[in-house]
Structure 1
């Protein structure tokens, strides 16, 4: 192999621009077919569920003739010839879909009352309501962001501070907006007829709204005509507006007067005041009697002063249950002291305790007496305060009763003005209605050519079209997702890509074992003629030809990160090297996470770590039964693996083993984790890198190669594990599989 000097080898080589063929795209699609099919299945299933669970929409259509009424123009004194107006139909379309017309439909059909449940069904509450609110909020935000009001524009009423745009919509306005969303108006080509359609989930509602829309449109045209043609109607309307203002002013004045004089229920107050006077008088008499009783009791207590014995004779004290209980306890204690005095002296502890108990009871009795005295004083003051309050209420009620007649008289005068203004306003309103009904002339003729019929089948969803679109969207979306994932995939995929990026020789690839129960470490022994065994033979051949002078005898086998297959590669490579009657030795230099001993089922109690620490009592080399292999296990895990591997005893071990073995393979830890592999690379003929397809990233490989090339390590090449064999490659290996089973 033509090896570039390490100083001249680039750490990363840019991929040259190459022509991309159609087969490259097909290869990516076939490689990511699981992603494509999964996305296709999810998309198609989503469209299928959405289509077959969507509420069917029914469309009712009616055909209407709309043209100018030239005869009405002649009657009114105008010219009878036809004037072409290119914006005539467009203007009528806008009138049909206007808010006034749709609100007329809502009012005529009672959609906001009688049929409200069709537009505000319970099923819309929950997720659908949330999605609708979220969508509406986003639209309002975008509209407000791009159409903000300029400075100085009035967006709120003067003095109120409330934005008009933020006022909540009524049910009728919401339903009208929904009708506008489901309304469709299309002119028939080369005619004056128009097709008016309305779509709804209820076919009956669709028919009703479509027919009502025409009637509402006709009413709107008539109203426009009446509002702009009759002078007398305008005069009466303006006069009615003046009378309405007078009526509103009189009503506001009456309401203000009632509010200022508290006459909201003036008729009831006239009957209530006598009852209130009688009630307050009765309560005052009771309060005075109660106050006198408490005053006499409190005076009696104050007269006795601190003579508690006489105070207790007052009924309120004598009848108190707490005092009665304390007196009984004091009497019992006195009897106890008399009895004890016959047995003990006054200084005896029993006597002292009895007297202490007596003193405590006397103290509690005094506290209870004081409490009753305070309660009596508070009751007396409260009764006195209640008497004063009742006197004030009685006086206030008398004054209010004297003023109520005068206020009621003024209220009657203002009420009469309100009634008179209302009679005038109602008369004008009635005249306006009569004049509106008698006005018959119209400028536009509207004829219903075809009324809307009950739709028998839904117009939406269109199942075949939706399923076809879902299939197309899922297919192209899956292909796009496959290319996007392929673009983001930064892992090693095949040998060709690695050679182009890093100028690194790929000695061979190892395919992924498909059987779940098969172990790659023993596969060569069990299936010597399998495709996997052939992969390792090809690696052996490439490795023996990797050096121009002589095949490398000592190899360091390492990887970028754990679980990339370096240990299994070491074992299988050792087996294929030994098949040519060569002596092969495996040294497990991974003294941090050793695994080689478990693959060959040998003990690990004595091994490389014992030898490197100076323990030479045993031979660390163990022959593998039934194989031309030997192994030096890692031994017990030491605290300083890096120091042991760079010691002189490791160099001496390599020198001695090279005398007796044709090949020595060193299984070392990953480069990215520790520096053990970099240390061992100085005592071998070359380094064999192991990468795993779909796991080892280009960044990891670039970083590891840079570390090895910085110390001028001879890199023999790289082996890529985990290659997924495509079906087109299985034909050639089928012979080996068949032959292996014979």
Structure 2
């Protein structure tokens, strides 16, 4: 750990700075104690009057459990489900405060008739009557203005005819309902679903009665809201169901008519048969085409052979024919028989003739059979062609019928979907109506009274102890805040520390404001050389003599920012303390516009600085102050051009000659903000002392004047703060000088 003293120095400085700030705040409060005490007294006095003149109010409270009822909603949802609603309680609170609820209370308790005197006094009735009259008069006046404007703009009066405009005054029931709403308080109990409902009234019995009635009115209101909502829903759903039932009936009739007109009774079966038939026809057509090709080829082969029956018999259809095979065998047998008989008989033998005839007959039968087969083949070929053509026609017809039935079925499907949709919507509405009838009498909000409102025994308002304590605290802190606010708005010089921080100039010293009555600061230092005021000027003298590092300044110009800041008195008193060490001191009154130094010493001003600078005289210029070791050159006759005289060579020559004679030469000059005389004289002296007055010299004035001096490089020795009160005299480092001098 670093224990070097320098490492701890910043913390010590910070603590010292905080302590100084706290002391400054305390001093500021004591400085503005009149403001603080005045504000405290007025505030506390008003609170006392308000507390003891306010009519006592009695508050009755009831505790109620309010939660959402999920029973009826579960019937609609079909399952148990709860959700968190952050706005539920807030909505219920607004409903309790609503005008409908308070009007129910008024009607239920007959507050506007039986208990009307609890809410209206003669003065209040007069006030309400006046307000009603004023309201009516205002409405009539505005109505007249609007009607005149409409006439000027050419707006027809019938354009707004029929609009509901209420101009009736408020009834007693409305006024009492608004009073109840204004005095009603609703507070939720933390971490629970319960709320505390309170009502305040001048009469404790009325407070208790209204509080309990509020709960009943609230329950009636939420039940009426539920009934009104359910009634409207049922009415709407019933009307909608009737519309949907009519739509369903119309759509069903349209579907039936379409089915009857387009013979769609078995449309679904037909849609199943047509694809099957189309497939069978396609298969049969393929077979017919193949068979037709086969017969066509066979018939072409037969035609190519012509009547060459021998080769025709080689065709498979002829070769495989059983009749023809039998005939061939018989012919072969007959030929063998002829061969055998020819060996025995001659050609003309009857046996041979019979055998030949039998053989010829067999050949004829064989030929006939071949021709029959040829004809049969031709017929089969023609039949195959005809069958192919018929199948093609059937297939095309089936396709057309299928396309037609598909188009009709599409329209049928559209109309059937419409029927189904209407039926579903109608069934849903019917089910909702049944559900609404079941849940109509159930409430969405559950309300249980946990604790009823009892008769209040003591008034709740005003709480005298709390009101007086708050009034005292408000008065103290408000007064302190007002004091700081006034101090913040005060832009005048207050102490030397602020001047040092703002401008970086040395504070030569401060001068107290004389509090004693009948005293004159102009002669106070001369009459009481050992007073604290004289000590202030000695401190200024010491700081002034130490302000220059080489040698003490001998020619000093004293000026200020504005008149009446104590510049002339400071010059005279500073000359007195400088002359106490057997020093020769000369005061030159350079304020040739509003001279005052001669009047402080009771000397004539007929001959002075202006006369000398103008070259009118050189004799009797310096005057010795009777009874004091100081001399004075008065300002002389007021000239028309003081600035030109002060810039002359004679002024510079005068300064040189006076410094040869006197140890200190003090120049009393005009304020910096008014004229340029002080800026001109600043170049002729060793340094300038700026005199300021606490509570009068503003920082803006001081900044502007110092800027002018800085621009001309005027040597500023420091600032004298004049007119300080005693409580601030010892603040800052210049208080240390006083303490040191006393030591």
TM-score norm. by structure 2 comes to 0.55
Aligned position for 1:558: 559
Contact 1:600 1:624 in 2 (8 A): yes
Query: 2-side partners of 1:26 and 1:123: how far apart?
Result: 54
Aligned position for 1:576: 577
Report whether the alignment pairs 1:100 with 2:100.
Answer: yes
Report whether the alignment pairs 1:640 with 2:641.
Answer: yes
Aligned position for 2:24: 27
Alignment CA distance shift 1:124-1:613 (3 Å)? farther
Query: 2-side partners of 1:193 and 1:500: how far apart?
Result: 62
Query: 1-side partners of 2:737 and 2:609: how far apart?
Result: 40
Query: 1-side partners of 2:205 and 2:728: how far apart?
Result: 60
Query: 2-side partners of 1:21 and 1:628: how far apart?
Result: 47
Query: 1-side partners of 2:506 and 2:92: how far apart?
Result: 79
Aligned position for 2:47: 47
Alignment CA distance shift 1:475-1:158 (3 Å)? farther
State the SS of the aligned residue for 1:593: coil
Contact 1:690 1:721 in 2 (8 A): yes
Query: 1-side partners of 2:509 and 2:213: how far apart?
Result: 80
Contact 1:57 1:200 in 2 (8 A): yes
Cα deviation, 1:133-180, whole Å, max 9, x if unaligned, reads 9xxxxxxxxxxxxxxxxxxxxxxx994586879987544334313312
Report whether the alignment pairs 1:490 with 2:487.
Answer: no
Alignment CA distance shift 1:471-1:68 (3 Å)? closer
Report whether the alignment pairs 1:592 with 2:589.
Answer: no
Alignment CA distance shift 1:666-1:66 (3 Å)? closer
Aligned position for 2:470: 469
Query: 2-side partners of 1:166 and 1:26: how far apart?
Result: 66
Q: Which is further off, 708-717 or 162-171?
A: 162-171
Alignment CA distance shift 1:669-1:219 (3 Å)? same
State the SS of the aligned residue for 2:508: strand
State the SS of the aligned residue for 2:688: strand
Q: CA deviation at 1:638?
A: 2.5
* 1:395-410 correspondence to structure 2 within 5 Å: none
Aligned position for 2:61: 61
Query: 2-side partners of 1:552 and 1:227: how far apart?
Result: 100
Cα deviation, 1:88-107, whole Å, max 9, x if unaligned, reads 99887666444322112222
Aligned position for 1:436: none
Alignment CA distance shift 1:618-1:452 (3 Å)? same
Q: CA deviation at 1:712?
A: 2.5
Alignment CA distance shift 1:476-1:619 (3 Å)? same
Report whether the alignment pairs 1:690 with 2:685.
Answer: no
Report whether the alignment pairs 1:706 with 2:707.
Answer: yes
State the SS of the aligned residue for 2:61: strand
Alignment CA distance shift 1:694-1:191 (3 Å)? closer
* 1:492-531 correspondence to structure 2 within 5 Å: 492-531=493-532
Q: CA deviation at 1:575?
A: 0.6
Query: 2-side partners of 1:211 and 1:543: how far apart?
Result: 85
Q: Which is further off, 445-454 or 92-101?
A: 445-454
Contact 1:564 1:690 in 2 (8 A): yes
Q: CA deviation at 1:550?
A: 3.1
Q: CA deviation at 1:522?
A: 1.4
Q: CA deviation at 1:198?
A: 1.3
Aligned position for 1:624: 625
Q: CA deviation at 1:672?
A: 0.7
Query: 2-side partners of 1:521 and 1:448: how far apart?
Result: 85
Q: CA deviation at 1:537?
A: 1.2
Query: 2-side partners of 1:649 and 1:678: how far apart?
Result: 17
Contact 1:29 1:36 in 2 (8 A): no
Alignment CA distance shift 1:712-1:212 (3 Å)? closer
* 1:301-700 correspondence to structure 2 within 5 Å: 452-616=453-617, 619-700=620-701
Contact 2:495 2:728 in 1 (8 A): no
Aligned length: 488
Query: 2-side partners of 1:660 and 1:99: how far apart?
Result: 98
Contact 1:536 1:576 in 2 (8 A): yes
State the SS of the aligned residue for 1:513: coil
Report whether the alignment pairs 1:199 with 2:166.
Answer: no
Cα deviation, 1:272-297, whole Å, max 9, x if unaligned, reads xxxxxxxxxxxxxxxxxxxxxxxxxx
Query: 1-side partners of 2:115 and 2:692: how far apart?
Result: 71
Q: CA deviation at 1:110?
A: 4.0
Query: 2-side partners of 1:614 and 1:44: how far apart?
Result: 71
* 1:157-168 correspondence to structure 2 within 5 Å: 159-160=160-161
Query: 2-side partners of 1:502 and 1:510: how far apart?
Result: 20
State the SS of the aligned residue for 1:590: coil
Q: CA deviation at 1:495?
A: 2.7
Cα deviation, 1:480-537, whole Å, max 9, x if unaligned, reads 4444444444333333332333232222222222223222221212221122111111
Contact 2:592 2:638 in 1 (8 A): yes
Q: CA deviation at 1:190?
A: 11
Structure 1 gaps, min length 5: 1-15, 134-156, 239-440
Contact 2:556 2:689 in 1 (8 A): yes
Cα deviation, 1:56-100, whole Å, max 9, x if unaligned, reads 221123567899999x99xxx99xxx9999989988766644432
* 1:212-231 correspondence to structure 2 within 5 Å: 212-217=213-218, 220=221
TM-score norm. by structure 1 comes to 0.55
Alignment CA distance shift 1:166-1:601 (3 Å)? farther
Q: Which is further off, 596-605 or 47-56?
A: 47-56
Alignment CA distance shift 1:92-1:32 (3 Å)? closer
Contact 1:530 1:737 in 2 (8 A): no
Cα deviation, 1:598-626, whole Å, max 9, x if unaligned, reads 21122233333333333328513222111
Q: CA deviation at 1:217?
A: 4.6
Contact 1:499 1:506 in 2 (8 A): yes
Q: CA deviation at 1:627?
A: 0.9
Contact 2:557 2:667 in 1 (8 A): yes
Q: CA deviation at 1:545?
A: 2.6
Query: 2-side partners of 1:480 and 1:203: how far apart?
Result: 40
Alignment CA distance shift 1:474-1:737 (3 Å)? farther
CA RMSD, aligned part only? 4.9
Query: 1-side partners of 2:223 and 2:470: how far apart?
Result: 47
Alignment CA distance shift 1:119-1:516 (3 Å)? farther
Cα deviation, 1:528-570, whole Å, max 9, x if unaligned, reads 1122111111211222233333322222111111111111110
State the SS of the aligned residue for 1:563: coil
Query: 2-side partners of 1:190 and 1:618: how far apart?
Result: 101
Aligned position for 1:184: 185
Query: 2-side partners of 1:490 and 1:93: how far apart?
Result: 52
Query: 2-side partners of 1:541 and 1:168: how far apart?
Result: 84
Structure 2 gaps, min length 5: 1-12, 135-157, 240-440
Cα deviation, 1:330-369, whole Å, max 9, x if unaligned, reads xxxxxxxxxxxxxxxxxxxxxxxxxxxxxxxxxxxxxxxx
Query: 2-side partners of 1:713 and 1:188: how far apart?
Result: 75
Q: CA deviation at 1:668?
A: 0.6
Q: Which is further off, 513-522 or 48-57?
A: 48-57
